[in-house]
């Protein structure tokens, strides 16, 4: 019989840099799981994506064991990385802070496709383009 999760926790942690210190420790400590064990497993699983911020969904079971699922990086993080900016526009779509190419948009959409509510890369590109517009990032060849 499968174990039933008693708690699910969602965090965004930089790849390969999880430590038992806050914020990870303050969130997972009260759940009663072994923090060092979690940090070691997470860091090993994300070593190849150093520098990226990755959402992780942790399922905690009655016997204080756990498992986790690593998601794709947030769309806003990827857009800022490709556009080489620190933050998006303060005024949203009214102020353009950077521009990315159609190819960069396609790459981001392909990375995000497993976590988006889309079946094709073209649909995912529309979702990512909407996020880019709200962040003040223009896409070459699009209004």
Q: Give the confidence band of 2 by pLDDT, cuts at 50, 70, 90.
A: low
Q: Which CATH number fits domain 5-70: 3.30.1550.10, 3.10.290.10, 3.90.1150.10, 3.40.50.2300?
A: 3.30.1550.10
DSSP label at residue 52? -
Phi, psi angles (nearest 5°) of residue 107: -60, -45
pLDDT tens digit string along 9-54? 888 888 888 888 888 888 888 888 888 888 899 889 888 888 888 8
pLDDT in tens, 97-125: 888 889 999 999 999 888 888 889 999 99
DSSP code of 51? T
Domain boundaries, the chain: 5-70, 75-139
In CATH terms, the fold of domain 75-139 is Arc Repressor Mutant, subunit A (1.10.10)
Q: Taken in order 110, 115, 121, 122, is the CA torsion positive or negative?
A: negative
From residue 86, how far is each of 80, 83, 98, 131, 134 by CA, in Å? 6, 9, 11, 16, 15
């Amino acid at each position: 019989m499968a174990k039933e999760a008693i708690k699910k926790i969602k965090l965004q942690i930089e790849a390969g840099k999880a430590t038992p210190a806050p914020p990870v420790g303050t969130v997972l400590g009260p759940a009663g799981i072994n923090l060092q064990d979690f940090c070691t497993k997470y860091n090993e699983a994300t070593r190849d994506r150093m520098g990226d911020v990755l959402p992780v969904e942790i399922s905690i079971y009655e016997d204080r064991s756990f498992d986790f699922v690593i998601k794709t990086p947030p769309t806003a993080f990827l857009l800022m990385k490709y556009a080489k900016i620190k933050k998006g526009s303060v005024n949203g779509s009214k102020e353009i802070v950077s521009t990315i190419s159609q190819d960069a948009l396609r790459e981001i959409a392909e990375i995000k496709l497993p976590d988006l509510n889309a079946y094709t890369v073209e649909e995912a590109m529309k979702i990512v383009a909407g996020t880019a517009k709200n962040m003040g990032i223009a896409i070459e060849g699009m209004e």
